[in-house]
Amino acid sequence: MTNPLPRFQGLTPPRLFDVEKAMPGLAEYRRSALRLRPERVKKPLPVNASKIGGRFLWPSKEAWPFCRETDPVEKVGEYTLQQALEHAREMKLGEKIKLKPPPSGPNNFAALEKWNRDFEAEYKKLRAGGLPELTPAEIAETKKQYDEQRRSSAEAGNPHNAGYFPLIQLRRDDFPELPWPHGKDLLQVLWCPRVHFRGNRLPEPGEKLPQTNGAKIYWRTESAMRPAAELEAVKYKGFAIRECRLRPEEIVEYPQGEELGPDTMRSLKNLKPWFDRAPQARAAARHGDDPGPEWRYSYDIATAPGTKLLGYAQWIQDPELPGCACGAAMEPLLTLASQEDADSTIWHVETMGKHDEAVENPSGFHWGDWSNAYVFYCARRHAIRTRTIVQSS
């Protein structure tokens, strides 16, 4: 029998202030979460260990899964190389505009609209003088990107033909808090390296079409498993999962502002004096601006970034809380993240004052520059139902 993983303490700094004292009524939303704090390893972990990546256990009579879905066919017009070069010149012109970065956060729409108007006015002035010429290197890069886009479009509709990657394996002895089905003691999540869109179609212009279905989730019995030999064939260009050990740390989380309702969202403004008095207030501000108490509550107080179990989702885009077919609301089971600290010293003592890719994204899991995969579950009616949602910036 393998000894359970030790529980860590002190990897997550204490919150800026006592948010339950500052915001009466928030205590009823309190939930426990387990930050998994993955750490890249130099030597392979045991095949039956709780871990990210590496070699998993697998049923002896079950073939390793391959994804046979097809990419949706992209609706593309005749976008010529000349148009691509013209667009590159327009982008180069825009880079000459030196305005203060736009405000961030969900409650700065008026300021953001003003920034957009100022940018458009400045761009119009510069555009009257003509577009800048591209250097030979810029022309070559534009042609390269254009060719890659055309190849990607030509591949649309083709089967994925990709083996699922072993993403995370969790043992019941290590994580008894999970909603384990009767007789199961091993949870495995496998991941297709190709992007999946709900409904097998690409989003229309301006449409946010959720990415989903890229995961296979298994509740297993360890005694019926063996080391998976087929993993040697699981490779896909541009995608890799590095093996990581887990350092679980129990924390407390609260819903992000958008999940609290409009009345509670408005009350978040009352937190500004608490943020102003916090010793770390200046270090926590983003991009030289204070994004406001509503944004800072959601990302510096409410939910932790990174790979974790249970708790609440830290959304990258708008919340997408799924419902189960039985009519119940689904709860977060697992968050798989491409950034463990989300560029925040508030949540990660190990990256204070430095950037270390091995700490910020030890597993190498990513879609875009920042992405999260959320696995939700419903345990009603004596069955565990799951649903996966992916968001990226």
Q: Hey, what are 6's tokens?
A: 């030790």
What is the DSSP-derived secondary structure letter of residue 142?
H
Give dist(CA 369, CA 392) in Å, integer.
7
Q: Which helix (H) or strand (E) holds 52?
A: strand 51-52
Q: Is the pTM of this model over 0.75?
A: no
User: What pLDDT was estimated at residue 199?
Assistant: 43
**Nearest alpha carbon to residue 131 among 169, 99, 88:** 88
CA-CA distance, 276 to 296, in Å (whole number)? 12
Rounded to an integer, the average pLDDT of 200-229 is: 65
The model's pLDDT over 74-92, given as tens digits with 9 standing for 90+, comes to 444 456 788 888 888 888 8
375-388 pLDDT, tens digit per residue, is: 999 877 556 888 88
When the pLDDT of each residue in the chain is averaged and rounded to a whole number, the result is: 77
Class of domain 19-74+157-392: mainly beta
* Helix, strand, coil share (%) of the chain residues, nearest 5: 30, 20, 50
What's at 228, amino acid-wise?
A
What percent of the chain is modeled with pLDDT above 70? 72
Mention every residue, 6+ apart, whose C-beta is less than 8 A from residue 121: none
Torsion angle of the four alpha carbons 104, 364, 341, 355, in this order, in degrees rounded to the nearest 10: -90
Q: H or E segment at 265? A: helix 262-267
Count CB neighbours of 35 within 10 A. Answer: 26
Q: Residue 51: what are its φ and ψ, rounded to 5°?
A: -170, 170
The better pLDDT of the pair 349, 61 is held by: 61
Cα separation, 339 vs 353, in Å, equals: 16
Most confident range (mean pLDDT) of 47-56, 85-94, 113-122, 288-297 is: 47-56
- Owner of token pair 């179609």: 201
Q: How confident is the model at residue 112 (pLDDT cuts 50, 70, 90)?
A: low
Other residues' Cβ atoms within 10 Å of the Cβ of residue 90: 13
Is a pLDDT exceeding 70 seen at residue 344? Answer: no
Does 321 have pLDDT greater than 60?
yes
Determine the Cα–Cα distance for residues 218 and 188; give it in Å rounded to an integer: 5
Percent of the chain whose predicted confidence (pLDDT) is above 90:
21
**3-class DSSP assignment, residue 79:** coil
Q: At what angle do helices 109-127 and 81-94 cross, to 10 degrees?
A: 110
The pLDDT of residue 205 is above 60: no
All structural domains of the chain with their residue ranges: 19-74+157-392, 81-155
